[in-house]
Each structure stands twice: as structure tokens, then as C-alpha cells.
Structure 1
């Protein structure tokens, strides 16, 4: 078995009561079978509470006002304090460590939805590196696992990493290269011509970010549509379709985005505001790179199970775009003040609403795949 993880993976340690938020609210915490057995056979004074505050039918902890029944007033876990850390279920013990599973490979990451994990991830200014090691484990087989497609996905993701981390070109051009590659790779798969992808990837590598590539991008862009309206339409298309995990999420979005969109009547005004923000907060250029890398590393190779390659590239671009909009809106709301903790807060709040809900992840991918607003031409225009 191969295990892949970013070099900063082992830096994480839960900061417990010092955390600005809690991971025990706003989402349903599922319990693994081994933990259910431990809880069912628990002895002592804590037994009755376990029996009463677990939904045995759903295999989850009960919630009260969207907070785990075992989350106390100090935002600490009563299972941990009363019964010990060995009684934590897999979800609580492992979070924010995230695992993507493939035949013969496990990919580990830290979820952006954890404030401390987000802080660690976003604070890295050097290029992020992933290490792979061999670990002796029993052989596993997956039914109908397409090794040819998976190898193509892995090789392509390595190329996308190199695109994302090429700091010699503006990030806007890197995003466009990601979209072009994702589009071409999806087309190969849809036309049952996956054998052509090495040739196409080589063509992308050779064209790099030069004039021929930029001319091709210009032809693809839908110049007749207003970028301002496209940006607003992204929010209007996605947000109403999403399950709300925390009360006040829509209010937060409205309050944060209103200063941005009310202050920009034209595309030029919008570009000026963004330039002013990025001049005030120059770290965004690197953090944008890290965010693009996060979404691609975490989700791209999952296309082995659903073949939605282009949708996963779009997800990286669109989620990073939305975080950027929230950052600029926050900067305006705070009278043109912004700091690293502000970005950490935006990222973990955004991630919790998206990544703590399979329904939201699946719905977003569906929208990215089918809605015209997310066409290649529109996203290149934005």
C-alpha cells in the first residue's frame, strides 16, 4: 500500500479550547461500527448518557440546536473528558485528517474546514510538496477499478500541480491553463480516446503559457457576456441549491459580498478594487496557489469513480474564486483592513458549508457539470 501526504501533514495538533470554533457543530457526526460496540457495552455512570444521546438507527450522535449532544458549554467533548480519548469514534479521532481511498493507494490531507489545519496550510509560503511511502498492509482489490484511467489521472494531476505552482506567470493565466487541460482531458474520456491524452498533455506542456495558448484562450472566451454579471450569477446559481449547515450563513454571505458588488458598477472598477486589495494583502498571490492545489489534490483523482474530470477542475477554480470574493468583500467591510486570520476564518467557514455535506459536494459537482454559467467560455471570461 502506498501512502501519500503533504509534508506539513504531521504538523497538526488539536488546539482544543483555544480553537476559535468547534468541529462538533453544524454537521452530522457518523459513528463507526467498532465505536458503536464500545458505546453499547460501556460501563459506569457515563453509560446512560451514551445510550440516550446516540441515534442508534442513524449510527450518529444526536444533535441539539445543531450541536453534538456531547459538546459542552466550553466547546469541549464530554466523551473525551469523561470516558477518555480511546472512546472517541473514528470521525472524531481522525478529524481534520482526511483520506481519499484508491486501490493500492491512500491519500492523506488536512481538511480546510478546521481552523488550525487551515492556518497551517495557508501559512506555508514555499511550494507544497507531497511525499509517498510504502506501507505493508493486506492486499485490497476494488471492483472495476480502471487502472488505465487512474494512471492518466495521476499523471495529469502531477502536470496540473506544476501549472499551479509555476510562479513565473500570473495566477490568472495558471487558472486558465487548468481549465483548458480539464476541458481537453474530459473530451478525451467522453470520446473514448483516453489513449490520446499523453499527446494532448505534451501539447499543453509545449505551448505552456505562450502566445499560441493565449490566442486559443481568447477564442474560447465568451466576450459578449458581462464578467460582473457572471460573477454574481455564480453565487446565485450555487448558494440557493445548497444545504445550510450553520444558521446565519446566508446573512454572512450577503453582508460580506454587498460592499464588493455595490462599490463596483463596471468591470474596470472591480479590477481596480481587486488590485488594491492584492496590493494591500500581497500574500493572497501565494495563498491562491495553495487553495487551487488543495482542491485539485483532494478531489481530482476521485474522477476515477465518476469520470467527472472537468467538473473537479472547475471546482478548484470556482471555490478559489468564491473565497477571493469573500476576502475582498471582508476587506471592504472592514474599511480596507485585512489580515491572515481573516483569510483563515473565511476558508474554514466556506469549507465547512461545502465539505461537511456530501449533499453539497455532489450538488456543486452537478451544477458545475450541467449549468451553462460554468461553461469553459464563461469561466475563462471571469
Structure 2
């Protein structure tokens, strides 16, 4: 079905590489089934597949159950979907066709949002093929407004129907998001300074939202557009002091917390172990913060910073893709600074991973960058309970202020 669509141009060239994928989406994750697909599988008449489906499906019978999250496949002892053939191909698709796949399997790695009558299609970087296409584009992410063939089986993640509504600032969504992307893609600034600039701006917007002064937000956007081109203001960002102790203590705690909650993805575990080795940490629960700071600085100066001078666009592309697919800043939720804080922590965690891994390998490469970011996205970004716990933890420790978030970001 043809739909008016806004999408990054990389989506025009994306197609699943199937069994050639180095990190199958059918391994390590629980594959959920919507109610319609579950019933189709229950009623399927096939001499082999029917029995296999009946023995592999399990209903979700708690408060999380819904028509879209109705059942799931019980993974085998290797954490593989029981429908996955050794060849790496899906047994359901191979036997009865793609039209019998669940919405989850049909949609991933696509992210489909709808803003008013316009569909927005992007993709998650947890897919290796998507990660390569997005991250390794030195020209940055561009967008295209077009007519696109939208599969009716693709699931809709978010529906933003009132972007023209003035009462609670929804009409400002487009202006805010376009400016956020403009900031992150402004290569006259270091990437961490772009994020800090965005944080200062979003904090100002949050104050206006808290006071119900939505009518002033457009003028603030114009004010900060001028500041973005003001040499004196931009120079002031470079004078902000970093707080490496806070960065290391907080980010390592967050990484440990995520690993404890179960990141059973071999590709990510390899990165996680390399990071710890790169920091000279022998045991996760015992490390000397002073020694860690010294090692971090050495890795950063010797192996990380020069590589990122050439490949800074990789993390820029990560952030722009995140902004677009997450509908940041979503003014409907009235917590735009909290959304920014979450994105900042994800960026800071990624940077810690990369600096540690750069130290272990005595350098970085394009392949390493893709592996780290893709596996990180798979383990962290798909776990909503963990993502929510990030901002909760910061709030509980009084670290969710602009000053603390800026010190977390500053290199």
C-alpha cells in the first residue's frame, strides 16, 4: 500500500541479508507473537510444522499481555528460535511463506511511526546490516519525503496524531526535532559540544513546558539558532570542564547494571570483555577509580581521539538516527529533558565502551565501531525497563540536572 512517507535515504537500499547475517535476530531474543498470528499458527494444518509450532508457543498470561504481545516462542537451549533452521533461514517463511510471519518478525528492524498522516520509517541499529549502512556514511544521514510501499503487516510503534495541536505544544514537534538534528549535524563543533548545546537548549524548552509557556518556545528556537552561529557562545562550550570521575563511576555502574540484568548476546559479551580488559579491570565488582581514570585517559589520548577525528561521523549518525526513530523531543510527554538525559547516557556508555576497546586493541577500526554500536544497541536499546531505570537512577542520586548531564558528556 502506497503511503506518504518520511525516511532516511538509507531505507531505500535496505534488505535483510538472511543467513549471511553475523548476528541473527532469531538468536538471543524472545520472539513475540501477536494474537492474530498465534491463532493462525494454532489453526495451521501442516504435517510437520503444525506440531513444531504447537510445542514451541507459549501464551503471555500476565499484565504485559496485549493483542500485539500475546504469546512467544520458547527459545531452545542455545537461545535460538525453534523455527530457525541451521542454515540461518526461518522455517515458517521457508515452508508456508513470509505472509505467515508475525508482525514482530515482519517489521524488524524497521521502526514505523506515524505523525499525523505521514508515516516515518527508519531502522534499529541492532541489525548489523542497518548499522553498516547508517554508521559508515561519512556524508551523514539525509531524509526523503516520498511515496513508499508500506506493508500492512508492519507494526506501528508510535502514533503522533496531533502535531498541529497548539494547546500542549504538539505543534512545535517538527520545529524542535528539525533543530535538534541540525545541531547534531553541525560539524563546526565537537560532537560532545553539540550534545551539550542541545542539552542547554532542551533544558530551556523544558522550563517553558513546566510553566505552560508554549507560546514562547518558537522564539527560543530562533534565539538558539542565532547562538549556534555565535562564535562567542560556541567558544564558551569549549571552556566547560569535564568530570571524568563522575563519567567513569556512573557509566561503569550503568554498564554493570545492564550486564547483571542479562545481556546474553555473544557478540556484545565479546565487546564487554574487551572493554574491561582495555581498562585493566580483572573483576567487575572491584576496580580502583583513580587507576581507571589514568588508564581511560591513556586510551583516550593514544588510541581513541585521533580515530574519532576522522570517524566522528559514526557517532553523529548514531545520534541522528536515534533522534528520528524515537520521535525526540516528544513534547506530548512533557519530559523532553528526561528524554535528552536518556540519550546522553546512551552516548556516554557507548563512548566508555569504545575507549576501553580502543585500549585493548591499541586502536579502532570501522568494523570494531559497527560491532560495538550494533551489539550495544541490541542489548541496551531494546530493553525498556533498563532504559527507564537509567533516568530513575540518575534522579534518585540527584544527577539528572543540566550541570551533571553536561559534565557526563564533556570530553
Calculate the TM-score normalised by the size of structure 2.
0.80
Farther-moved stretch of structure 1 (269-278 vs 58-67): 269-278
- Alpha-carbon distance in structure 1 between the residues aligned to 2:149 and 2:367: 40
Q: Write out per-residue CA displacement over residues 234-265 of structure 1, whole angstroms, 9 at most, x where no aligned residue.
A: 23146416732416667853541442377984
- Alpha-carbon distance in structure 1 between the residues aligned to 2:192 and 2:149: 42
Q: Can you give the 5+ residue segments of structure 2 that lack an aligned partner in the other structure?
A: 61-69, 151-157, 282-288
- Alpha-carbon distance in structure 1 between the residues aligned to 2:171 and 2:369: 35
Counterpart position of 2:58: 55
CA RMSD of aligned residues (A): 3.3
Q: Are 2:279 and 2:295, in contact at CA under 8 Å, matched by a contact in 1?
A: no
Q: Are 1:253 and 2:276 counterparts?
A: no
Counterpart position of 1:114: 127
Q: Secondary structure at the match of 1:372?
A: coil
Q: Write out per-residue CA displacement over residues 167-189 of structure 1, whole angstroms, 9 at most, x where no aligned residue.
A: 12222321211111121111111
Deviation at 1:280, TM superposition (A): 3.8
Deviation at 1:291, TM superposition (A): 1.4
Matches within 5 A, 1:9-158: 9-45=11-47, 46-57=49-60, 58-65=70-77, 66-133=79-146, 147-148=165-166, 149-158=169-178
Q: Are 1:228 and 1:266, in contact at CA under 8 Å, matched by a contact in 2?
A: no
Counterpart position of 2:357: 330
1:151–1:267 Cα change, 3 Å:
farther
Q: Write out per-residue CA displacement over residues 4-54 of structure 1, whole angstroms, 9 at most, x where no aligned residue.
A: 110110211111121111101222222123322321221121111112211
Deviation at 1:379, TM superposition (A): 2.6
Of residues 137, 158, 165, the one that matches 2:185 is 165
1:333–1:162 Cα change, 3 Å:
same
Counterpart position of 1:198: 218
Calculate the TM-score normalised by the size of structure 1.
0.86
- Alpha-carbon distance in structure 1 between the residues aligned to 2:143 and 2:162: 27
Q: Are 1:375 and 2:394 counterparts?
A: no
Farther-moved stretch of structure 1 (7-16 vs 60-69): 60-69
Counterpart position of 2:5: 3
Q: Can you give the 5+ residue segments of structure 1 that lack an aligned partner in the other structure?
A: none
- Alpha-carbon distance in structure 1 between the residues aligned to 2:138 and 2:161: 40
- Alpha-carbon distance in structure 2 between the residues aligned to 1:194 and 1:359: 30
- Alpha-carbon distance in structure 1 between the residues aligned to 2:355 and 2:306: 12
1:247–1:118 Cα change, 3 Å:
closer
Deviation at 1:278, TM superposition (A): 3.0
- Alpha-carbon distance in structure 1 between the residues aligned to 2:40 and 2:292: 61
Q: Secondary structure at the match of 1:183?
A: helix
Farther-moved stretch of structure 1 (278-287 vs 173-182): 278-287
